[in-house]
Amino acid sequence: MSDKFKTRTGMTPGVQKGTVPFSLRENRDSPQVASLRVLSRRKFLAGALTAPCLLHQTVLADQPRQRPPQPDRTVDLHIHLFGVGDHQSGCRISKQIKQSPLFGFLLNKLAVERRAETIDEGYVLALAETLQESGIDKGVILAQDAVYDRKGKPDWQRTSCYVPNDYLFQVVGRYPQQMVPCVSINPDRADALDELQRCIDRGARLLKIHPPIQGVDVADRRHTAFFRRCAEAKIVVMVHTGHEHSAPVLDVELASPRKLQLALEEGCTMVACHCGTGWAGDKPDMLPEFLEMLPKYPNLWGDTAVLGSMARVRDMLRLLADDAAKARLLHGSDFPFLCYPLAFAPRIGLKSALRLQGVKNPIGRDFALKDALGIGRESAERAYRLLI
């Protein structure tokens, strides 16, 4: 064939790659045509056999890759919101607490007065920064109701600390990814049920009562309807139990874990804050009461708030020695009150205690200490599943 009849590709004009030349189609019985038929049949069969495999690979490629199991999320369910009322917060704090060495120490430690022009705002900024950098996923932030008189009216003379629910919702609303509100309602107040419903309507899922400093007997049968409503709404009720050392106590007997029986029998999920613990010399010893109640009430839990402090080492170790109690513990730090890892050096080793003592973040340090004691992450994940 003459070169002038070939294209640049070297093929005869009108003939495309992969097609049978016209001259061969003319001779259907020629050896060349038979060979091409065999090749085409083989290609078809090979394609038919490999198509399902290719389809399977394509489907697998389109499916999202399965990630390795991720650790459960964590929560610190015991973080205090405080204020003195200098930033339109409505908070109150007694002169006795303001003038205490502990109050001044915490203000300085958290650099509250250097963060903002007011103590209230400075504390919120310190709390938010500490929580965000702690390694904990969420923090439950606590309000604090007042003491009430026999008519259900606020008794400001006997109220040592007050953080209103509206201020709590305001602060938590600024940090919704990190903070969960825990309202405080003293069931002695005249409008307790109305306030409870108002808070439920605003999304509250937890409630805190502090009997020994609020002067309320949670075992009083007059509060039956209140706790029944909490149970119906699936509100987790947190109640301070055990001895209190950071605020004036009106009646220490009100801190007995046995006082929780009324609410438990009404169906409430209850958290005995601090598990009825105290300092080594505190009387009466209430921790045994908490331990005795656990088998009877599966809806009773305890938190580890303030149990990392120097004064509660004895009771923390007593809790850790009880396997049934360990399985019912929920993680709490009691921020801004600080833990002291060096006090646990005999249990976790001096090297570990020194390392933990050097952790600057207070919430993170408390979590790390509880983790070194064998209950930190497990109790924090358990708290998240129960409360969030």
What's the rounded mean pLDDT across residues 71-88? 94
The least confident of 57-71, 87-101, 190-204 is 57-71
pLDDT digits (tens, 9 = 90+) for 103-162: 999 999 999 999 999 999 999 999 999 999 999 999 999 999 999 999 999 999 999 999
Question: In the prediction, which pLDDT does 39 show?
Answer: 40
Q: CB under 8 Å, gap of 24 or more: what pairs does 165-173 form?
A: 165/195, 165/199, 165/204, 166/90, 167/81, 167/83, 167/89, 167/90, 167/91, 167/143, 168/81, 168/141, 168/142, 168/143, 169/202, 171/81, 171/124, 171/141, 172/141
pLDDT digits (tens, 9 = 90+) for 179-210: 999 999 999 999 999 999 999 999 999 999 99
Q: Is residue 11's pLDDT more than 70? A: no
Q: Is residue 46's pLDDT more than 90? A: no
Q: Is residue 95's pLDDT more than 60? A: yes
- Residue 89 confidence class, pLDDT cut points 50, 70, 90: very high
Q: Is the pTM of this model over 0.85?
A: no
Q: Is residue 174's pLDDT more than 60? A: yes
| % of the chain at pLDDT higher than 90 | 81
Structure-model confidence comparison of residues 260 and 37, the more confident one: 260
Question: In the prediction, which pLDDT does 71 show?
Answer: 62
Neighbours of 208 (CB within 10 A): 24
Question: In the prediction, which pLDDT does 22 show?
Answer: 35
Across the chain, how many H-helices and E-strands are there?
18, 10
